[in-house]
Amino acid sequence: MISEITDGTFQEETWEGLVLTDFWATWCGPCRTQAPILEQLAQDYDETEIKITKLNIDENMDTPVKFGIMSIPTLLLQKNGEVLEKLVGVHSKEQLKEVIEKYL
pLDDT digits (tens, 9 = 90+) for 34-76: 999 999 999 999 999 999 999 999 999 999 999 999 999 999 9
CATH code of the domain containing 56: 3.40.30.10
Active-site choice (28, 35, 90, 99): 28
Task: Read off φ and ψ for residue 24, nearest 5 degrees.
Answer: -145, 175
104 occurs within a structural domain = no
The sign of the CA dihedral 26, 28, 31, 33 is: positive
CB count, 10 Å around CB of 21?
Answer: 24
d(CA 62, CA 84): 20
pLDDT digits (tens, 9 = 90+) for 73-97: 999 999 999 999 999 999 999 999 9
Q: What is the DSSP string of 7-49?
A: TTTHHHHHSSSEEEEEEE-TT-HHHHHHHHHHHHHHHHS-TTT
Domain count, the chain: 1
Domain that holds residue 77: 2-99
Question: Model-level pTM greater than 0.75?
Answer: yes
13 occurs within a structural domain = yes
Active-site choice (5, 18, 19, 31): 31
**Catalytic: 10?**
no
**Catalytic: 91?**
no
44 occurs within a structural domain = yes
